[in-house]
Amino acid sequence: GGQLGQELQRSVPDNVQLHAMDSRSLDVTDRSAVHSTIKQLTPDVVINAAAYTAVDKAEEEKEKACAVNAEAPRYIAEACEGLSCRIIHISTDFVFDGSKSSPYLPDDPVNPLSVYGASKLQGEQNLPSEALIIRTSWLYSALGNNFVKTMLRLMAEREQLGVIVDQVGTPTHAKGLAEAIWAFTEKEEGEGIHHWSDAGVASWYDFAAAIMEEGLAAGLLQQAIAVRPIRTSDYPTPAVRPQYSVLDKTATWGLLGCEPVHWRVALRRMLKEIGA
pLDDT at 214: 96
- Report the percent of the chain where pLDDT is more than 70: 100
* C-alpha torsion sign, points 151, 200, 270, 213: positive
Question: For residue 183, is pLDDT > 80?
Answer: yes
Instruction: Identify the CA nearest to 173 among candidates 156, 194, 193, 197.
Output: 197
Confidence band of 187 (pLDDT split at 50, 70, 90) = confident
Q: Residue 111 is which amino acid? A: N
Confidence band of 189 (pLDDT split at 50, 70, 90) = confident
Confidence band of 82 (pLDDT split at 50, 70, 90) = confident
pLDDT at 276: 64
Question: For residue 243, is pLDDT > 90?
Answer: yes
CB atoms near residue 125 (< 10 Å): 12
Find the distance separating the first CA and the last CA of the chain, reported in whole Å: 22
pLDDT at 119: 97
Task: Give the range among 3-17, 131-145, 186-200 with minimum mean pLDDT.
Answer: 186-200
Instruction: Identify the CA nearest to 7 among candidates 256, 203, 174, 226.
Output: 174
Q: How far apart are CA 98 and CA 117, in angstroms?
A: 12
Whether the model pTM is above 0.85: yes
Task: Tell me the per-residue pLDDT of 15-48, one tens digit each, with 9 for 90 and over.
Answer: 999 999 998 999 999 999 999 999 999 999 999 9
Q: How far apart are CA 62 and CA 109, in angstroms?
A: 23
Q: How far apart are CA 1 and CA 25, in angstroms?
A: 10
Cβ proximity of 156 and 203 under 8 Å: no
Catalytic residue among 75, 116, 140, 244: 116
Task: Tell me the per-residue pLDDT of 103-151, one tens digit each, with 9 for 90 and over.
Answer: 999 999 999 999 999 999 999 999 999 999 999 999 999 998 899 999 9
116 is catalytic: yes
